[in-house]
Amino acid sequence: MKKNLFTAIVGRANTGKSTLLNALLGEKISIVSNKPQTTRTKITGIISKGETQFVFLDTPGIHKPQDKLGSYMMRAADDAVAGVDLVLFMVASGDRIGPIEDGLLEEFKKNHIPAILIVNKTDISTAKEIGDTILRFTAKFDFEAVIPMSAKNNDGVEIVFEEAEKFAVEGEWFFPDDMITDQPERAIAAEFIREKLLKGLNEEIPHGLAVVIEEWKETSQLLSIRAEIYCEKASHKPIIIGKNGAKLKEVGELARKDLESFFGIKVYLNLWVKVKENWRGSSVAVSNMGFKDDEI
């Protein structure tokens, strides 16, 4: 008998939600960085195992939106939570309950959504800290299960499948059994490039970056991609390009390797940097960058 399960992974920024999605999939589909608010939209990971098709939805970390992009991100997270069979509520060991966590737990209660508490980053935490974190959160909400884990070290990930499967519902699968995501190829490519930029640049610049794929040509031997990197300030452009183009070259090399391994074909990557002042504050610009509500 076939079963399926829709699960959203939610929590504040930087707790390790995307790392978990990738660990569940055994493949990198959702980009990861040490900067908060890395994930900007809902990312689907599909795993078909035995009788069950698991559909995990990685979501943008919950935060108080400061601009139109932030509002879009929070709508994407809300939208992912609505209608799922189960929520994986992720905190990092040592986290306290703030307004963000309170708000989410209230939402689960109000909508009667079962939730599993995931306490991540146990590899950098003491047993006492892990225990205290569990006590703090379980005192606030009646979780279906508690899973301490290190998503980064792939430790505890199998238990997520075991616990989540209990909430699977009988029914046909929604996706072909070899499909791992419903993200369009271009969106995946743009994200892989953005990840390398996030890693290579510090603080102020990454939040104002967007990557748009302008050209995509594929032959049997070569995938040729032209992408435009948008930043918000003219002063950011030379930093992204680097001395004699060194930074952009480094980003391009790293992204190309990831793209080649993901798409299984040789990739030619052509990157351009453009300035679009304050695009995150404009609904039209946010939508033009590919963040369209009808796509959530």
3-state secondary structure 206-226: HHHCEEEEEEEEECCCEEEEE
Distance (Å) of CA 177 to CA 27, 46, 47? 16, 9, 8
Query: Strands 169-170 and 3-10: what pairing?
Result: antiparallel
* Residue from 39, 133, 181, 183 binding ligand GTP (CB under 6 A): 39
Q: Extract the tokens encoding 16.
A: 């390790």
Buried b (16+ CB within 10 A) or exposed e, 46-68: bbbeeebbbbbbbbbbbbeeebb
Indicate which single residue of 45, 61, 70, 148 sits in contact with ligand GTP (rule: CB under 6 A).
61
Task: Give the shortest CB-58-to-Mg ion separation in angstroms.
Answer: 6
CA distance 110 to 247: 48
Yes or no: say if 104 and 98 are a contact pair by the CB < 8 Å rule. no
Nearer to Mg ion, 18 or 44 (CB): 18
Sole window of 26-34, 160-168, 170-178, 239-247 interacting with ligand GTP (rule: CB under 6 A): 26-34
Contact letters (x/-) for Mg ion, 258-287, by CB under 5 A?
------------------------------
Backbone angles phi, psi at 179, to 5 degrees: -90, 130
CB of 18 to ligand GTP, least distance (A): 3
Which sign, positive or negative, has the C-alpha torsion 121, 122, 125, 128? positive
- What distance in Å separates the CA atoms of residue 146 and residue 36, rounded to the nearest whole number? 24
Q: How far is the CB of 57 from Mg ion (least distance, A)?
A: 11
Q: Does position 37 bind ligand GTP by CB under 6 A?
A: yes
Binds 44, which of ligand GTP, Mg ion, none (CB < 5 to 8 A, cut-off by type)? none
Q: Rule CB under 6 A: which of 62-121 touch ligand GTP?
A: 120-121
Q: Any idea how long the chain is? A: 296
Interaction between residue 4 and Mg ion (CB under 5 A): no
Q: Which of 4, 7, 18, 53 binds Mg ion (CB under 5 A)?
A: 18
Site for ligand GTP in 138-197 (CB under 6 A): 150-152
For residue 267, the SS3 value is: strand
Q: Does 38 bind ligand GTP (CB under 6 A)?
A: yes
CB of 246 to ligand GTP, least distance (A): 24
Q: Identify residue 105 by its one-letter amino acid code.
A: L
Which 39-78 residues touch Mg ion, going by CB under 5 A? 39
User: Which residues here bind ligand GTP, judged by CB under 6 A?
Assistant: 13-19, 32-34, 36-39, 60-61, 120-121, 123-124, 150-152
